[in-house]
Copies of this chain bind each other. A is one copy, B any other.
Amino acid sequence: MGVVTARTPKQDRSRATRQRILAAAVECLAEHGWSGSTVAVVCTRAGVTRGAAQHHFRTREDLFTAAIAHMADEWLAAVREQARALPEGRDRTYAVVDMLVSVHTGPLFRAALHLWVAAADRPALRPGVTALQARIGREAHRLAVDCLDADESVPGVRETVQATLDMARGLGLSNLLTDDSPRRAGIVQQWSRTLDAVLRRPPQPPAP
């Protein structure tokens, strides 16, 4: 407690193994869905023994919930980093919406989607995934508010930011079986214009 101890090479190796398992789990989930993502498949992909996986994760449910949580943390950190490079001025809203939508149409969202849907009818998975989904939702919302510099005290702004994230989730779903990118490009473009109007235009006075 309070004393900084150097990590031993053994601890480093253990940590590296854990990371490899988590990364392999997310890749498997994105590619093969929940039912194709057994612990054995993940171990083969990560190049670790079954025993190593069991040392780190008690159950298959623990492994996959931890994998998405870990990747979501990495993802949030990466997006916050990307956000620093976003342009200021009139192109910013487009850049933010494009970034949020890209994230929801990539492999992490695809993996999370498989876990999410699998949790709906698997009691062992459901509580962990529900809590995780709520946390990711909150963090994504905060991130969107920050990036858009949105003033949530203005009526309607909070709901519009939420709608933006729900739209991004819907676009992720629409991209699951087919490449939806041409349709998506027009939607992102138009949504950015609409968002600019809602976020920046002062509310109109009520009609007399």
Pairs across A and B, CB under 8 Å, 15 listed? A33-B122, A36-B121, A113-B117, A114-B117, A116-B176, A120-B176, A130-B178, A162-B187, A163-B187, A163-B194, A167-B167, A169-B169, A169-B173, A170-B170, A173-B173
| Cβ contact within 8 Å between B162 and A183 | yes
| Cβ contact within 8 Å between A163 and B190 | yes
A206 in the interface, Cβ–Cβ < 8 Å? no
Digitize A116-154: 1 where CB-to-B-CB distance is under 8 Å, 0 elsewhere.
111111100010011001100100000000000000000
Chain B residues near A198: list those with CB within 8 A. Answer: 194
| Cβ contact within 8 Å between A156 and B193 | yes
Question: From A101, which residue of chain B is reached at the shortest CB distance?
Answer: B166
Interface of chain A, helix or strand or loop or mixed? helix
Complex Cα spacing A118 to B114, Å:
8
Q: Count the copies.
A: 2
| Cβ contact within 8 Å between A118 and B170 | no
A35 in the interface, Cβ–Cβ < 8 Å? yes
A174 in the interface, Cβ–Cβ < 8 Å? yes
A177 in the interface, Cβ–Cβ < 8 Å? yes
A200 CB to closest chain B CB (Å) equals 13
Chain B residues near A119: list those with CB within 8 A. Answer: 177
Question: From A178, which residue of chain B is reached at the shortest CB distance?
Answer: B130
Question: From A113, which residue of chain B is reached at the shortest CB distance?
Answer: B117
Q: A129-B177, A170-B170 are in contact. List 15 more A-B contacts (CB 8 A).
A: A114-B117, A116-B173, A117-B176, A156-B194, A159-B186, A159-B187, A159-B191, A160-B191, A162-B187, A166-B167, A166-B170, A166-B187, A168-B170, A169-B174, A194-B197
Which of A122, A162, A172, A193: most chain B CB closer than 10 A?
A162
